[in-house]
Each structure stands twice: as C-alpha cells, then as structure tokens.
Structure 1
Amino acid sequence: MNVDVWVEFLKSNWLVIVVALVVLFVVLNFVKTVVKWALVLVIAAFVIIYSGIELKDIGEAVTAVKDQAVTISKNEALNMLKDEAGEAKMTSNADGTFTITTPNLEVTGSQGADKVKVSFHGVPLGEWSMNDTLEAFIQEASRNSK
C-alpha cells in the first residue's frame, strides 16, 4: 500500500484511532475473561469498517497475491522441468498411471491423458494440460528409468 494513503487516513481519523486505542487498553486492563477478547474483536472490526476497508477488498487482495504466487511457482516449475529432466525417474503403476519424481518436482498422470498433476516442493500446483515441455519431460523420465 501507498504510504501517503496511510498518512492521509491517520490525519483524517486520528481521533477515532486514539479513542479506540484507549478503549482497548481499558478493556485489556480491567476485563479478565473471554469477554475481553470479544470486545477487542468488536473494536478492531469497528475501526476496520470505519476506515473504509471492506472484507471483500481484503479477499480480492489475498486472491491476487495467491494467483501471482501460483503463476510464479508455475513458471519456476516449468524451468525445473527443463533443468531436472535428466534426473527424473518414472514409476509406472499397474493401473496405467505413472509418477515422475525429481529432487523438486512430482508429476502424476495416466498414460495417454491430456492432463497431469504437478507438485513443486511438495506444494500442489494443480492439473496442467499436456504441452511440449511436459511431453519432453515425460519422455526423458521414461528413458532415465529404463
């Protein structure tokens, strides 16, 4: 977030913030039960709502960050597919499925399927459609396992 936005918010709402902090300190010092934390949450929610930050906006920001992280992870995984193809080992199962492992990746799928599941450092990145990079990776893993 922009620092100027926070400075402007603090300038225009300083009195509400000070009152909320004083009430929070009073509540924390005098109330010694679960009610204390309920009051703290109510006061915090009031300040957040009053400041104009909506939960929807926070959710959209979290989703945007998550999507960006997944995209970066996918790009990193594609680079790893190319770099670690020589170390890939394939395990074929009796039901026609396979698992390919490298130090950083795990690819699972079925023979002839158009999608595979990819995990990067143990974190699932979802199902990927087959492309040239994945085809080459699977072929290299197959050769390495023979």
Structure 2
Amino acid sequence: MDKKNSVDQAVEAVADLGRDIGDYIREQRSNAQISLRQLAKLAGVSNPYLSQIERGLRKPSAEILQQIAKGLRISAEALYVQAGILEQRVGGAVVDAVLADTELTERQKQVLLDVYETFRRENASKHSADATEE
C-alpha cells in the first residue's frame, strides 16, 4: 500500500508541474496579449499541443519551452525554473523582469544586471561585517 501511495504522489507531483508551467505560460501569453494561435505559430508548435501544455495535459521538453519563451519574448530560464528544470537563481524575479523587458537593448539589460548584482554584493558584505561586529 505504501509503495502505491508514493507512486501516486509522484505521478500527482509531475502532473502539478505540468499544470504549473501551463498556467505560467497562459499567464505570460495573456500579459503579452497574444492569442493561443499566435503563440503556437511564433513557437512553431501546433495549436492543440500548446493548448494541452497550458491545460497541464502535456509537459513540454526544454526545447519546446525555449521556443515558447522566444515567442513570448521572455527568458527561457524563467520557463525552465517554472517547469522545475532549473533552480531559481539568486535575484530571480528582478533578473527575469529585466531580461523579459522588450524595450531594453541587450546592452542596457546587462548594465542593469551588473548594477543590481553590485548592490547585492555590497549589501551582503555590509550584513557580514555587521554580524561580525556583534
């Protein structure tokens, strides 16, 4: 019985991952004001397949996620994190927002991320020094 329950839990966890990534893609598509049909065309996948991904019935491969990210103009890394393929890196939401901004050039994005990372390092050093003094 215990083995069957753990298998059921594992299957449900994988299904939840599919739903989570599907919900996230649908949300990003809605925010970008792109129809399912438009995103399917931009990503090079069929309408029914993309619909199944969004409904959590299919779990897309890393390659398909990359194509969808390109169609949505967001970082593939953001989708990989949502799909459980990658762990979220430090500063995830801010970094993802900068990378997803379509009004910034690649150079501008890199400068912003460099400044952000510098501030994070300074604050971490300051917190370490404060902790050492106590």
* More strand, by proportion: 1
Question: Larger relative CO (CA 8 A, sep 6+): 1 or 2?
Answer: 2
* TM-score (normalizing by structure 1): 0.31
| TM-score computed with the length of structure 2 as normaliser | 0.33
Bigger Cα Rg: 1
